[in-house]
Chain A
Amino acid sequence: AQKVTQAQTEISVVEKEDVTLDCVYETRDTTYYLFWYKQPPSGELVFLIRRNSFDEQNEISGRYSWNFQKSTSSFNFTITASQVVDSAVYFCALSEYTGTASKLTFGTGTRLQVTL
């Protein structure tokens, strides 16, 4: 069975601070996908990144960066110089790599509050 753990329930930072959101996963599959989604207060779920299991290269997109470490089954997300607009719930998710549509297993989410 697949499992995603986001141990940080809530994080509060002051604007311009860097913040890292942790994600640890469990799966018996040798190939799989990992995702991060952002859910702002309005409710929609915004896709941020997809990473497949055989690509361990870290990725940077503007102020966002992701660190995938297969050895520790972690896929952590760092926001550099946080802004108030980053306030949201962030979900890490895992799916099988089947070539067709697969279910997502979500973590419980981390609520990030960025204040001035």
Chain B
Amino acid sequence: GAVVSQHPSWVICKSGTSVKIECRSLDFQATTMFWYRQFPKQSLMLMATSNEGSKATYEQGVEKDKFLINHASLTLSTLTVTSAHPEDSSFYICGAHRQETQYFGPGTRLLVL
């Protein structure tokens, strides 16, 4: 149990376009999901906490208008990178909370040209 999926796993886009990443808990309901960003050979950096049916809570320094988060159901949270630029290229990974533990998706590699 506790399977989390992410889609897409890889995305390459042109600068200025928007990219949507989906995070789904497949076999459990997750009231809370977390979005992280990870640069090569670095640790995970929490971007925001996503709660079903309410606004996301963003970490300091994360632009909420650039990284739009929607947690519309108990099994789905989406992260939209708006007007992506090359500096947004990174590995994005979501964590879904279940019974005091975060279970993570396989991640999405974003490359903005």
Q: Tell me the A residues contacting B by CB distance below 8 Å.
A: 33, 35, 37, 42-47, 50, 52, 91, 95, 97, 100-101, 103-104, 106-109, 111
Report A-chain residues with C-beta under 8 Å of the C-beta of B34: 101, 103-104
**B101 A35 Cβ-Cβ under 8 A:** yes
CA distance A100 to B41 in the complex (A): 30
**B101 A106 Cβ-Cβ under 8 A:** no
CA distance A1 to B37 in the complex (A): 21
**B42 A104 Cβ-Cβ under 8 A:** no
Partner of B106, one of A44, A101, A103: A44
- Given A44-B106, A104-B95, A91–B43 Cβ distance below 8 Å? yes
- Given A101-B49, A104-B46, A107-B43, A43–B101 Cβ distance below 8 Å? no
Partner of B101, one of A42, A47, A97, A100: A47
Q: Restricting to B40-57, which residues have a CB under 8 Å from any CB of A? A: 41-44, 46, 49
CA distance A97 to B103 in the complex (A): 17
In the complex, whether B67 has a CB less than 8 A from a CB of chain A is: no
**A44 B107 Cβ-Cβ under 8 A:** yes
Report A-chain residues with C-beta under 8 Å of the C-beta of B43: 91, 106-109
**B104 A42 Cβ-Cβ under 8 A:** no
**B32 A43 Cβ-Cβ under 8 A:** no
- Closest residue of chain A to B105, judged by CB? A44
- Given A33-B100, A47-B101, A103–B46 Cβ distance below 8 Å? yes
17 intermolecular pairs with C-beta atoms under 8 Å apart: A35-B101, A42-B106, A43-B91, A43-B109, A44-B93, A45-B44, A47-B103, A47-B104, A50-B101, A52-B100, A91-B43, A95-B100, A101-B31, A104-B34, A104-B44, A104-B95, A111-B41
In the complex, whether B13 has a CB less than 8 A from a CB of chain A is: no
**A45 B93 Cβ-Cβ under 8 A:** yes
